[in-house]
Structure 1
Amino acid sequence: MSGRLPRGVLERLRTVDWYGDWDKANSHRRSRALLMREYLRRAALWARAYGAETEWPFFDVTEYAAPGFEPAPGLAAELEEYVSKLGAPSTRRVCRGAVRWAALREGAAEPSAPADPYAPLLLMFERGGGYSIEEFIDLYGVMIPHGNLESHLDAEPFLSLAPSTLDALDSGSEGRISYYAKIGEGYLRSSPKGILRRRLVGRESETYDEAFTRNLRWEPTEYLRPYKLYASGHSDIGLVQITEVEAAAFIESVMGKPAGIRPPG
């Protein structure tokens, strides 16, 4: 909980290696891309709610949600001293915005709606530093398109923010990945029996098939081999292609279950 309070948010920002940890950023490239996209989606919702479309995507939501609000003087002074040392103007804006938002929400009885705009961005920072803005948004390991506000308003929400879930998505994630859900009687796409992924690695597209097992990690599987996978995302029997966001939701659901309850291997 302390990591969501204003001083806790500032301390989290102080631990970020903004410029040096390229290996960490690269090892978390999949989760960082998902987290940045979720920030862009949430920022679009807040920009639309307060008529701040022209300020999207990297802005201080509190300036529009509560004009005139200021954090406690001591915190405000520390915040300004910290952000003054950051290089990129957009990074300064969102870091200032994250702390000011936490200060605005401190003690609030009800959660904000739309969701906390800065939660995914803080996690992204902690998983390998910042970003740079050029033709694409460069996350130092992967680049994603800017898109526009409308496209992000319609994006699939990514709500699986537990570090263990993000680590599972990043684990062994080299190559181009497709995810599949095991479905059938009693097992719907939204609550499958299990999930698998197929990774195509290198120029020769060497294939690696893996299942997320009862050991809560990706392990090799032959399950995909007997079935023909169609462009529609369906297989001959029992499989349907799902998004990475859906895969994350399944991982988070089983990670949170009591010991002894595990996905089928």
Structure 2
Amino acid sequence: MTITIKDAQGIAGMRVAGRLTAELLDYLAPFVKPGVTTNELNDLAEAYTTEVLGAISAPLNYAPSGHTPYPKSICTSVNHQVCHGIPNDKPLKKGDIVNVDVTLIKDGWHGDSSRMYMVGDVSVAARRLCNLTYDAMWKGIMKVREGAYLGDIGHAIQTFAEGQGLSVVREFCGHGIGAKFHEDPQVLHYGRPGTLDQLKAGMVITIEPMLNAGRREIKEMGDGWAIVTKDRSLSAQWEHTVLVTPTGYEVLTLSANSPAIPAFVTPSA
């Protein structure tokens, strides 16, 4: 395993890429409403990424080993879709929840973030799932500091989620990120404190828990990308790109219109 440590120049590049990623999600927010298709959101994202932000959509034609190239610029996972939902021509309807996952490349550096959007009025259960998944992500982020362990992050997320009656998807995880879309290490959203790799200043990772309202088991759809809950229960995910600093953490994918940070979060030193 080779974990890259970013130098000052790399960190500066990652800050720019992260901020632009957040600004793309800000831009898409008002368009996520009943009647819009996820294909329309994809086209809006691609145009904004290239024409306004001067960046590249990393998911477009991304082809890890064993996969056909991903055909779109963003991932849109609706309701019981867990992740990697491919945008299509089906309109979103009132009551849907949708995760929009975007990754940009700016000057060779990657920013990666996702948010849950609630389409019109949603059920109490759907809103609760979205809100608790957001809180779970921040529970993990708060464990980030030099000298801490990846297991500390996973344990914080798992204990919080399971304490709220939610299940943690285990087949997908966060990851290192930088000049490459996916770098070492893998960042599990479950685990035991004091285990796995130790965090060092200059590491950049994503924290992106996927929580299900029902059981944690998942299955792959026939398109080779989309993942859904086996029991068709609702699923939610949030993601930030996070820098390990000498005194704590810095969230790189924040912007002026990012969702409010939960009240329980203590600022990094």
Which category describes the TM-score, using the shorter chain as reference length? under 0.3
**Which structure dedicates a bigger proportion of its chain to helix?**
1
**Which structure dedicates a bigger proportion of its chain to strand?**
2
Which of the two has higher C-alpha Rg? 1
TM-score normalised according to structure 2 size:
0.25
